[in-house]
């Protein structure tokens, strides 16, 4: 996931060339993982020549909550961050799908292990982005031997930089063993989520997903799919613990998140799920989801913020003059 085409970043309260967005090795977050982040997608709609950001206000509300968990008081609101991202994407001039990575981090050069009375900063960069999982229509996954970080160790509902060592461990080990992704269990042995996505099974026509108390990240896509399943597909959704053995006998199984979008899981280790191909509910949900995120569903247009409509304006003061200003 290198990004040779990233040209700009929001850094030090301005949009600057990416080469100028640099931090010191003494930065607190670099030493201790004391940062929080978000991950959003922009979807290009060629018919409308429009780039839509998917649920940025919800992503930024969670981002600000994650920051609060680390005692960071950020000087931006969710609408302001949305305006900044829109401007950053306009500056990049994307006419393709992209990924957006906001980061808030403790920027002080102190080595003291503390979260209070310490400077923080916000930076945002983006990159063109297609599929994250190569095999979105039939992923082959495995249970990780690593357990999901517990909320009483590092807040699980925050996107906290240091906690992603846990995700990297789970994901790396199963990928090196030949699988696409990892299902991660809680310390109590129930399913929590994937290494960087939420998790659903379907049994007898009912969609089941672990509840938010299961050390899951409160995923924006998860929340969206629960609504789409109930309101559009008429599928009952239950949030409850899922046992390992239930996963093996599920009719359908899928993972969801900004990166993986909706990826069908058709094999787990040496077992096929359902018929071993994408199930009917997963297929219908994927079709609907891609219509929604690309602005083809009128009903869910309010989930999208258009980048090129000029609906969100940002003050010229955010620019330092070294990059083109698109207003």
Q: Which is nearer to ligand PMP, 42 or 259 (CB)?
A: 259
Strand intervals (E) in 179-229: 181-185, 191-194, 198-203, 206-209
Stretch that binds ligand PMP, among 256-264, 279-287, 302-310, 317-325 (CB under 6 A): 256-264
Residue 123, interface with ligand PMP (CB under 6 A)? Answer: no
The span from the CA of 315 to the CA of 16, in Å, is 15
| Residue 219 found at the interface with ligand PMP (CB under 6 A) | yes
Q: Which of residues 8-47 bind ligand PMP (CB under 6 A)?
A: 39
Residue pair 269/143 in contact (Cβ under 8 Å)? The answer is yes
Sole binder of ligand PMP in the list 88, 103, 220, 247 (CB under 6 A): 220
- CB of 192 vs ligand PMP, minimal distance in Å: 9
Q: Is 177 helix (H, G, I), strand (E, B) or coil?
A: coil
52 or 91: CB nearest ligand PMP: 52
Kindly state whether residue 102 participates in binding ligand PMP, applying the rule CB under 6 A. Answer: no
Residue range at the interface with ligand PMP (CB under 6 A); choices 121-129, 252-260, 268-276, 280-288? 252-260
Does 144 sit near ligand PMP (CB under 6 A)?
A: no
The β-bridge partners of 255 are 199, 263
| 280: β partners | none
User: Whole-angstrom Cα distance, residue 12 to residue 166?
Assistant: 29
Q: Does 278 bind ligand PMP (CB under 6 A)?
A: no
- Applying the rule CB under 6 A, the residues between 166 and 185 that interact with ligand PMP are 167
Q: Mapping DSSP to helix (H, G, I), strand (E, B) and coil, where does residue 265 land?
A: strand
When binding is defined by CB under 6 A, the residue of 257, 274, 279, 295 that contacts ligand PMP is 257
How many residues lie near ligand PMP (CB under 6 A)?
Answer: 14
Q: Are 71 and 115 in contact (CB under 8 A)?
A: yes
CA distance 93 to 89: 6
């Amino acid at each position: 996931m290198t990004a040779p085409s990233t040209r700009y970043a929001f850094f030090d309260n301005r949009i600057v060339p990416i080469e100028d967005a640099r931090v010191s090795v003494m930065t607190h977050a670099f030493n201790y993982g004391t940062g929080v982040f978000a991950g959003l997608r922009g979807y290009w709609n060629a018919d409308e020549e429009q780039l839509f950001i998917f649920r940025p206000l919800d992503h930024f509300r969670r981002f600000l909550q994650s920051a609060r968990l680390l005692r960071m008081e950020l000087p931006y609101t969710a609408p302001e961050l949305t305006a900044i991202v829109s401007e950053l994407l306009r500056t990049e001039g994307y006419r393709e799908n992209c990924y957006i990575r906001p980061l808030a981090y403790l920027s002080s050069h102190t080595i003291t292990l503390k979260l209070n009375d310490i400077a923080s900063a916000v930076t945002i960069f983006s990159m063109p982005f297609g599929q994250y999982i190569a095999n979105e229509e039939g992923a082959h996954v495995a249970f990780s031997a690593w357990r999901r970080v517990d909320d009483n160790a590092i807040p699980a509902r925050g996107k906290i930089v240091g906690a992603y060592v846990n995700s990297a461990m789970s994901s790396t080990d199963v990928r090196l063993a030949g699988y696409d992704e990892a299902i991660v269990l809680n310390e109590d042995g129930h399913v929590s989520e994937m290494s960087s996505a939420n998790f659903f099974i379907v049994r007898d026509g009912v969609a089941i997903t672990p509840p938010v108390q299961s050390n899951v990240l409160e995923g924006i896509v998860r929340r969206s799919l629960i609504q789409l399943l109930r309101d559009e597909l008429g599928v009952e959704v239950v949030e409850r613990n899922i046992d390992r053995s239930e996963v093996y006998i599920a009719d359908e199984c899928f993972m969801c998140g900004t990166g993986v979008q909706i990826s069908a899981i058709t094999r787990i280790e040496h077992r096929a799920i359902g018929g071993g191909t994408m199930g009917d509910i997963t297929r219908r949900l994927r079709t609907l989801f891609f219509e929604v995120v690309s602005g083809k569903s009128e009903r869910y247009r309010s989930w999208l913020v258009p980048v090129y409509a000029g609906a969100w304006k940002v003050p010229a003061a955010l620019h330092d003059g070294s990059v083109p200003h698109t207003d």
